Amino acid sequence: MLKNTLLKATEAAAKIIKENFDSAFTVFNKEGINNLVTEIDHKSEAAIIDVIKADYPDHYILSEEVGAIVQDSEYKWIIDPIDGTVNFANGIPLCCVSIGVEQAGKMILGAVYNPFINELFVAERGLGATLNDKTIRVSNKSELIKSCMVTGFPYTYLDEPNGPLQVFEKFIRKGIPVRRLGSAAIDLCWVAAGRFDGFYEHQLSAWDSAAGFIIVEEAGGKVTNLKGDPYNPYKPGLIATNGKIHDDLVRVVNGGEI
C-alpha cells in the first residue's frame, strides 16, 4: 500500500535526521551563500529513495537533491529530505521530512514529520488530515487583522512589486504577528492544525509544498497561488489559509491594504 511505504520512508529519514542532529556533519553551499545542504540531507534522501524503490521500483521520483528519477508512471513521489536545512545546520530543531505522492498530476497523499517534537502529519485525499493519528482542522478566524500569520523568505532577494518585504511590512505596521519558522512544510502543517491562520511565500519548490499542500486541504483549508488561482506545486508562489481569510490575504499579497 502506498501509505505504508510513505510512512516507512518518512520514519527511515526522520531517524537519520534525529540521530545526526548533534553530530559533526559536513555542510555544503548550493546557489547563494546561505542556501545550504548537509551530508545528512543526502543520507535522508538516500534512505527515502531506497524504501520507495524497494516497494515501487517503477514509480517516478522527484527529490530536492538528486532531482528527477524519471519513470513512465502515473505515480510521482515528491521529496524534501530535510525541509528547514538552515535550521538543521544551525542546531535549531525545527525541521522535518516531507514527502508527497501525486497520481496522474493530483496530490493524493502526504506526510510531514518533525522528529524533534515527534509530530507526524499525514493526509490522504478524501480521508482528512491527522497529527499523530488525531484528526486536525484549520482555525476558525475570519478577520485578517486578528490573525496569526507565517511566511518565509527566499535565499535570493526578490526585488519586485509586492515582494516579500513589502507584504511583510504591511503586516508588521498593523501589529499582526507574522512568524518565520524556516520550514515551509511545517508552516503548512501548522496552518492545517489551526496554529496559524495563514501562510504565504513568494518562492517555493514542489518538494517544499507537495505534502503540506494536501495536508492543509484535507484539514479544511485553502491553497492557491499568489493570485488566488488553483495551486500548481511546480510554480513558485503559494497562499494557504483556513479559507476564511483567504480572499483578504490574496488581496494584501497583491498590493491591497490591510
Q: List residues binding ligand IPD (CB under 6 A).
A: 80, 83-86, 152-154, 182-184, 201, 203-204, 208
CB nearer to ligand IPD: pick between 202 and 244: 202
**Residue 154 binds which entry of ligand IPD, Ca ion, none, CB below 5-8 Å type-dependent:** ligand IPD
Those residues with Cβ within 8 angstroms of residue 166's Cβ, 6 or more apart along the chain or in another chain: none
| 114 contact, one of Ca ion, ligand IPD, none, CB 5-8 Å limit per kind | none
d(CA 85, CA 93): 10
Q: Is 182 left (phi over 0), alpha (psi -120 to 50) or beta?
A: left
The minimum distance between CB 180 and Ca ion, in angstroms, equals 14
Q: Which C-beta is closer to ligand IPD: that of 185 or that of 245?
A: 185
| Paired residues of 223 in beta bridges | 240
Nearest distance, CB of residue 83 and Ca ion, angstroms? 4
- Residue 140 Cβ vs ligand IPD, minimum distance, rounded to whole Å: 26
In the bound state, the residue with its beta carbon closest to ligand IPD is 152
Q: Which of 235, 233, 219, 211 is nearest to 100 (CA)?
A: 211
- Residues pairing with 69 in the sheet: 61
- Say which entry of Ca ion, ligand IPD, none residue 139 contacts (CB below 5 to 8 A, set by partner kind): none
Report d(CA 162, CA 235) in Å as an integer. Answer: 17
C-alpha to C-alpha distance for 124 and 191, rounded to whole angstroms = 17
Chain positions contacting Ca ion, by CB under 5 A: 64, 80, 82-83, 85, 208
Give bridge partners of residue 27 from the DSSP assignment. 38
In the bound state with ligand IPD, the residue whose beta carbon lies nearer, of 31 and 257, is 31
11 binds, among Ca ion, ligand IPD, none (CB under 5 to 8 A by kind): none
Dihedral pair phi/psi, residue 12, rounded to 5°:
-60, -45
Q: Which residue type sits at 38?
A: T
CB of 104 to ligand IPD, least distance (A): 26
Count of CB atoms situated within 10 Å of the CB of 171: 21
- Secondary structure (3-state) at 197: coil
To ligand IPD, the closest distance from the beta carbon of 83 in angstroms equals 5
* Strand-pair partners of 96: 83
Which residue's CB is nearer to ligand IPD, number 160 or number 257? 160
Comparing CB distances to ligand IPD, the nearer of 145 and 165 is 165
- Report which DSSP code applies to 3: H
Q: Which is nearer to Ca ion, 100 or 243 (CB)?
A: 100
**Distance in Å, CB of 158 to ligand IPD, minimum:** 11
